[in-house]
């Protein structure tokens, strides 16, 4: 039985959400429309999966039901935004989301219909926020209220709206990861081509890692992708075990004559003990609550004093993105340095260096060097 959600979620306007990592204060309100559209694209990818209509248990919505709710959140919030802009201090009509789910039969709707409806609703809401990008503060501070007395401004409604939908992507994160894996499978060749060149700053990390691991050291590579880093590490005298969670990448590597296996670091046997683990830009899609387990398992498969190279995107929360040579949406988890240091420490790694850099798209990255803590 689905229990009604009676929590008051307005606290997310004042503090980060511990589940999805959303930080309302860190959001650029001029990008609200863009972020709503990107999130909607992710739902179309999730709804294409066979498991989208199945509930994970009797007390949790299926991805289809969450998508129906997200669609209706967009419609409801767009209506409230229009009211805020048209009237002085309006009171919003009540909306019982749980009653709506039952009355409209969310569980019986067609994913092929719901996906486009989510896109359409997100586009309408996003366009309304886009129109406010250059609005003055008096517009963003216009006020209204719910019947329970909770006060919203245009600004806080926008931030609350965005959290509502990205949090539900977190609710279906297992399927989001599965959809992301399928996206890489579909465009493995194009991705390998565009990432084939070793950039200068990347070569610095390869040199440093190889020197710390030592000649002939055995390295477990998590996320070999197109094979660029494995080739570079081998050229520096290391022995590399190629793995990837994407069968599309592994098939390409095997066709090229390499020994490579499909491996999920969350669940599969990691072998070892390894002298080093190379995880550059390969744990970007691991769910926030799974990364501590993944890093702990990698530590358990590494000898004491063994090295780790970890590269992740810096930021707050989780979100879908469509960019680069991968055409379908991919789901990313973002991390702050403080968060990563805490997770690594708890997993048995001692951080020795943190380097910040910026991708070609302006996205900030964190590259972390760490070593496996000794057993004693």
SS3 of residue 281 by DSSP: coil
Answer yes or no: do 146 and 191 share one domain. no
Report the pLDDT averaged over residues 299-305. Answer: 97
Chain mean pLDDT for the chain: 95
Q: Does position 199 have pLDDT exceeding 80, yes or no?
A: no
How many percent of the chain have pLDDT more than 90? Answer: 89
| Segment 117-144, tens digit of pLDDT | 999 999 999 999 999 999 999 999 999 9
- Is 207 in the same domain as 156? no
Q: pLDDT per residue over 271-283, tens digit each?
A: 999 999 999 999 9
The β-bridge partners of 219 are 240, 276
In a domain, 3, yes or no: no
Query: Residue 295 pLDDT more than 70?
Result: yes
Q: Are 162 and 191 contained in the same domain?
A: no
pLDDT at position 237: 97
Residue that finishes a domain, picked among 138, 171, 204 = 171
Instruction: For residues 141 and 192, state if they share a domain.
Output: no
Same domain membership, residue 209 and residue 137: no
* pLDDT exceeds 60 at position 376: no
Q: By three-state DSSP, how is residue 229 classified?
A: helix
> Is residue 350 classed as helix, strand or coil in its secondary structure?
strand
**What global pTM score does this model have?**
0.91
Compute the distance between CA of residue 234 and CA of residue 277 in angstroms, rounded to an integer.
Answer: 14
- Whole domain around residue 71: which residue ranges? 9-171
* Mean pLDDT of all residues in 189-196: 87
142 with 210, same domain: the answer is no
* Same structural domain, 164 and 21: yes
Better-predicted residue by pLDDT, 167 or 325: 167
Q: Can you give the pLDDT at residue 362? A: 82
For residues 157 and 306, state if they share a domain.
Answer: no
Instruction: Confirm whether 70 is domain-assigned.
Output: yes
266, two tokens: 């969350």
**Residue 148 within a domain:** yes
Domain assignment present for residue 324? The answer is yes
- Number of domains, the chain: 2
CA distance 352 to 121: 47
Q: Is the pLDDT of residue 360 over 80?
A: no
Asked if the structure places residue 303 within a domain, the reply is yes
| CATH code at position 348 | 3.40.50.150
Sign, CA torsion 214/219/223/228: positive
Please indicate, yes or no, whether residues 40 and 100 belong to a single structural domain of this protein: yes
Q: Do 235 and 160 have their domain in common?
A: no
- Which residue, of 140, 171, 202, is where some domain finishes? 171
Same domain, 213 and 254: yes
Q: Is residue 181 a part of any domain in this protein?
A: no
Asked if 129 and 230 sit in the same domain, the reply is no
Residue 105 has pLDDT above 90, yes or no: yes
129: domain CATH number is: 1.20.120.450
């Amino acid at each position: 039985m689905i229990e009604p959600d009676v929590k008051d979620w307005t606290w997310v306007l004042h503090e980060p959400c511990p589940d999805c990592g959303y930080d309302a204060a860190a959001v650029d309100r001029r990008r609200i429309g863009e972020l709503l559209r990107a999130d909607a694209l992710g739902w179309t990818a999730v709804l294409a999966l066979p498991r989208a209509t199945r509930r994970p248990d009797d007390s949790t919505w299926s991805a289809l039901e969450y998508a129906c709710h997200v669609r209706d959140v967009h419609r409801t919030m767009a209506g409230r935004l229009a009211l805020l802009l048209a009237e002085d201090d309006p009171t919003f009509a009540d909306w019982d989301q749980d009653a709506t789910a039952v009355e409209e039969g969310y569980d019986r709707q067609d994913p092929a219909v719901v996906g486009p409806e989510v896109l359409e609703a997100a586009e309408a809401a996003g366009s309304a926020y886009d129109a406010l990008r250059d609005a003055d503060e008096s517009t963003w501070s216009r006020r209204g209220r719910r019947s329970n007395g909770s006060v919203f401004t245009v600004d806080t409604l926008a931030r609350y709206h965005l959290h509502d939908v990205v949090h539900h992507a977190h609710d279906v994160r297992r399927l989001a990861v599965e959809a992301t894996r399928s996206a890489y499978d579909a465009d493995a060749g194009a991705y390998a081509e565009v990432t084939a060149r070793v950039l200068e700053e990347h070569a610095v990390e390869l040199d440093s890692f190889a020197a710390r691991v030592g000649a002939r050291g055995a390295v477990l590579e998590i996320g070999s992708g197109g094979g660029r880093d494995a080739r570079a590490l081998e050229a520096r005298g290391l022995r590399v075990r190629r793995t990837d969670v994407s069968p599309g990448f592994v098939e390409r590597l095997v066709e090229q004559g390499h020994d490579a296996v499909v491996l999920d670091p969350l669940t599969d046997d990691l072998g070892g003990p390894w002298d080093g683990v190379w995880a550059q830009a390969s744990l970007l899609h691991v769910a926030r609550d799974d990364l501590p387990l993944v890093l702990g398992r990698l530590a358990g498969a590494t000898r004491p004093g063994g090295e780790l190279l970890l590269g992740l995107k810096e930021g707050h929360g989780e979100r879908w993105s469509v960019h680069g040579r991968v055409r379908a949406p991919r789901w990313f988890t973002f991390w702050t340095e403080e968060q990563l240091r805490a997770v690594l420490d708890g997993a048995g790694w001692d951080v020795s260096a943190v380097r910040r850099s910026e991708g070609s798209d302006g996205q900030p990255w964190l590259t972390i060097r760490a070593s496996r803590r000794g057993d004693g």
